[in-house]
Chain A
Amino acid sequence: MSKPKVAFYWGASCGGCEEAVVDLAEDLLSVVERVDIAFWPVALDFKRADVEALADGELAASFINGSVRTSEQAEMAELLRRKSQVVIAFGSCAQLGGVPGLANLHSREAILECVYQEAPSLVNEERTVPQLATHVPEGRVTLPSLLDSVRTLDQTIEVDYYLPGCPPPVPLIGAAVTALVEGKLPARGAVLAPDVALCAECPRSATKPERLLVKGFHRTHEVVADPEVCLLAQGLLCLGPATRGGCGASCIGGNMPCTGCMGPTSRVLDYGAKALSAIGSLLDSNDEEEIAALAGEIVDPVGTFYRYSLPASLLHRRAEPASRAGGSSS
């Protein structure tokens, strides 16, 4: 029997997910023994035409990382969907929108203007902006367009499984590949990670007070954290109570609080709202003014609670100003 074919693809991402695949280290060799990699832009020299030449459903699985921001990424996702029996959203960006998803705080027009016209480090005397098509002596060249907002993979194509994390933890990748090869994947739609909050596996959970209340939050550069004690109890904003485990608490191991890359557990609809709820209820005050002051210490609530999940959130992107009500709609 021939080996199952798999593909890897990246959308709007940083390349860290690709690193995570390489981090399988020697285990990568046993993966390569069991599957044929048919497409992997970052590492192998296959082209889009090679994917197009495959029969529909010929790929056993596609691992797609990154969010979807350009027309090219959307097209590639659709192509890989057609050619694959199983599509796995790989990493926070594909699953929830990821850090690039914070661009949904701004309009596409504002982003293009900032990047190509206003950035202080910019040298663009001719005020060049990207064109969808340009004529040069050699002919007409084109660029993909920027979509109106950042989307998750499952806001673009149907997704069968999710591997959470920024990047996904190596043991979870290994387990997913093994389950795929052995035909032991769970029901479609599953997130391939434990369905409990990080606190459940945190090595410091014994030091979490019975009644956890916090008199304000420090930012990580402001204090030296005790390496043994629950970070929340030390006034560091750790999102462990609201975040799915399965990462081995590796950030906690580095004495850094959880920032929520593993996303929500299955009972949660909107990660940021749930994380905000968990953290908000810890503020140690019953006085309205003091509560407002303590809450005000969290300088960037959207960036804190939706660091990895704004496109997947209920609001999806920033609302349009009401003053423009009645103006041109999207």
Chain B
Amino acid sequence: MPEAELERRFDPRIVAFFCNWCTYTAADLAGISRMEYPPGVRIVRLMCSGRVDPQFVLAAFRHGADGVLIGGCHPGDCHYQEGNYKARRRFELLRMLLRDMGIEGERLRLEWISASEGDKVARVCNEMTEQIRALGPLRLRAAPPRAGRPSAREAAGEGAGEPVVEEPVGEAAR
């Protein structure tokens, strides 16, 4: 690919929540085996896919992820018996919610990947990157900052500043 085209290319950022026992180990295997997958996939290791709080997924999108990948043990293989089933149940609801919030289904993916399936980690990461590249960046409107949370402001080392006001845009009403 010519260099200019590479520069223009959109490289999706994907946050991957992988469970410690299966998928993270598989990602290790993929690395050791020198399999290639895009550097835009940022892996977060959790003990279990059942630990993936839907808040984590939304926070990832809010903070700039174009996609979120959840990896857990195959059904029946969960180190904690049924964490992956809980992940599946939450995932179904979350996918419906994201659809209604204008976030395409391809941007959230759940895959069962066992510790021996390093090749599947590479394949899924490559596939998902290409799918999201075709979709384009996730376009979330910035939320107005919470002017009003004294605790948050103090934590951020800010004093009482100007209230943040979104500019009213009047075209529609004019």
Contacts and interface: CB of A to CB of B under 8 A. Distances in A.
A149 B55 contact: no
Nearest to B96: A301
A132 B173 CA distance: 6
B1 interface: no
Nearest to A330: B141
Interface residues of B, number: 55
Interface of A: 71, 74, 78, 81, 87, 89, 105, 108-109, 112, 129-132, 143, 145-149, 151-160, 188-189, 268-270, 272-274, 276-277, 279-283, 285-286, 288, 291-292, 294-296, 298, 300-302, 305, 311, 313-326, 330
Contact of B58 (A109, A131, A291, A315): A315
Interface of B: 53-55, 57-59, 61-62, 75, 82, 85-86, 88-90, 92-94, 96-97, 100-104, 135-153, 160, 163-166, 168-170, 172-174
Given A105-B100, A156-B165, A286 B82 contact: yes
A89 B102 contact: no
Contacts of A156: 144, 147-148, 163-165
Contacts of B160: 158
A309 B92 CA distance: 21
B132 to A, nearest CB: 9
Contact of A154 (B58, B75, B148, B166): B148
B89 A298 contact: no
B58 A313 contact: yes
A245 to B, nearest CB: 21
Given A71-B168, A313-B58, A295 B92 contact: yes
A322 B139 contact: yes
B173 A112 contact: yes
Nearest to A77: B163
